[in-house]
Amino acid sequence: EIVMTQSPATLSVSPGERATLSCRASQSVSSNLAWYQQKPGQAPRLLIYGASTRATGIPARFSGSGSGTEFTLTISSLQSEDFAVYYCQQYNNWPPCTFGQGTKLEIK
Amino acid sequence: EVQLVESGGGLVQPGRSLRLSCAASGFTFDDYAMHWVRQAPGKGLEWVSGISWNSGSTGYADSVKGRFTISRDNAKNSLYLQMNSLRAEDTALYYCAKGIFGVPTGAFDIWGQGTMVTVSS
C-alpha cells in the first residue's frame, strides 16, 4: 500500500500571504494525485486532480504541482475562506487509493 | 443539482450488520465509478471501497475486506455498502463519493454529507 505523508501537520499563515503544502508518496504515483479541502462540519471538496488540474469552480489562486513522489499545493493569496484542512490522495495504485493525514491551515 | 444523499447509519452493536445507501441525482449515475470514504471522529479520511460504473470492478481497504460489500443499482441511481461483523473501529462518518471516471482509478468530485455509524454495546 502506498503511504502518503503530508507536511507540515499545521501551517499558520496570514491572510493575503502564500501557503505551500507538501505531500510525499512512498512510491511513485505518476500524476495520479488529488487535493481536497475540508472545512469543519462539511464534506471534502475536490480542488486539484491529475496533480495540477483545477476542478470545476476552483479559484485560480489554488495550484498544484509535482509528479512521481513529491507534490505541492500552493494557495497564492490566502482568503479567509481558505483556512481549512487539506488532504492529498493518490489513486495510481487501486485498490486501495490512499489519503494523507491532512494539513491544517490556520490563521496566523 | 448534482447531489448524493447517504442514509442507513445509526447505532449498532459489535458483530451486527448495517446497510448504507446513497441516492444520486443530477448526473448520469451509470457513467461513473462510486466510492465509500469514512472519517472517524476527529480523524482523517479513509477510503473504504469503490466500484466501477458497471460493477465489473470492486475494491476494498484491507481493514474492511471480507466484512463489507459494495454494490450499485444503476436503474435506481443508488450505491450501497453492506457492513457485516461490525467493530468499534468502524465507528465513523461514512461518505458516498462520485469518481471522475467510469473506472475506480480517479479523484472524487462529488461528495455527500455523510451518514454516521456508531458501533458500541
Please list the pLDDT of chain B residue by residue as tens digits (121 residues): 999 999 999 999 999 999 999 999 999 999 999 999 999 999 999 999 999 999 999 999 999 999 999 999 999 999 999 999 999 999 999 999 999 999 999 999 999 999 999 999 9
CA-closest candidate to residue A37, choices A87, A97, A105, A96? A87
Cell triple for residue B61?
A: 481497504
**Arithmetic mean of pLDDT over chain A:** 97
Instruction: Specify the pLDDT at position B117.
Output: 98
Burial class (CB in 10 A: 0-12, 13-18, 19+), B59: buried
Using pLDDT thresholds of 50, 70 and 90, give the confidence band for residue A93.
Answer: confident
Question: Would you call the peptide bond into A96 cis, given omega within 30 degrees of 0 as the criterion?
Answer: yes
Residue of B22, B105, B116 to mutate, testing the A interface (most A Cβ within 10 Å of its Cβ): B105
Do A13 and A79 meet the contact criterion of CB atoms below 8 Å apart? Answer: no
**Pick from B44, B106, B113: which is nearest to A43 by CB?**
B113
d(CA B39, CA B18): 17
pLDDT in tens, A50-70: 999 999 999 999 999 999 999
Question: How far is the alpha carbon of A91 from chain B, nearest alpha carbon, in Å?
Answer: 5
pLDDT for residue A66: 98
Q: Is B114 in contact with A43 (Cβ distance < 8 A)?
A: yes
Q: Report the alpha-carbon distance of residue A54 to residue A37 in Å, rounded.
A: 13
For A5, phi then psi, to 5°, come to -120, 120
Q: How many residues does chain A have?
A: 108
- Determine, for residues A87 and B109 on separate chains, whether the beta-carbon distance falls below 8 Å: no
Q: Is B51 exposed, middle or buried (0-12, 13-18, 19+ CB in 10 A)?
A: buried
The pLDDT assigned to B79 comes to 98
- B interface with A, Cβ–Cβ < 8 A, is 37, 44-47, 50, 59-62, 95, 100, 104-109, 111-114
Residue type, B62: D
**What residues contact A93, with CB distance under 8 A and at least 6 apart?**
A1, A2, A29
Radius of gyration of chain A (CA): 13
pLDDT for the residue numbered B93: 98
- The Cα B58–Cα B15 span in angstroms is 24
Cell triple for A106? 490556520
Min CA distance, B2 vs chain A (Å)? 13
The neighbour count for residue B78, using CB atoms within 10 Å, is 16
What residues of A are in contact with residue B60 (Cβ under 8 Å)?
A: 95-96
Q: How many residues does chain B have?
A: 121
pLDDT digits (tens, 9 = 90+) for B100-115: 999 999 999 999 999 9
Q: Which residues of A touch B37 (CB under 8 A)?
A: 44
**What cell does A33 get?**
494525485
Q: Which residues of B touch A3 (CB under 8 A)?
A: none
| Cβ pair A56:B109 closer than 8 A | yes
Rounded distance, CA B47 to CA B64, Å? Answer: 10
Mean pLDDT of A3-13: 97
Mutate to test the interface with A, among B1, B52, B63, B108 (most CBs of A within 10 A): B108
Q: Do residue A95 and residue B61 have CB atoms under 8 angstroms apart?
A: yes
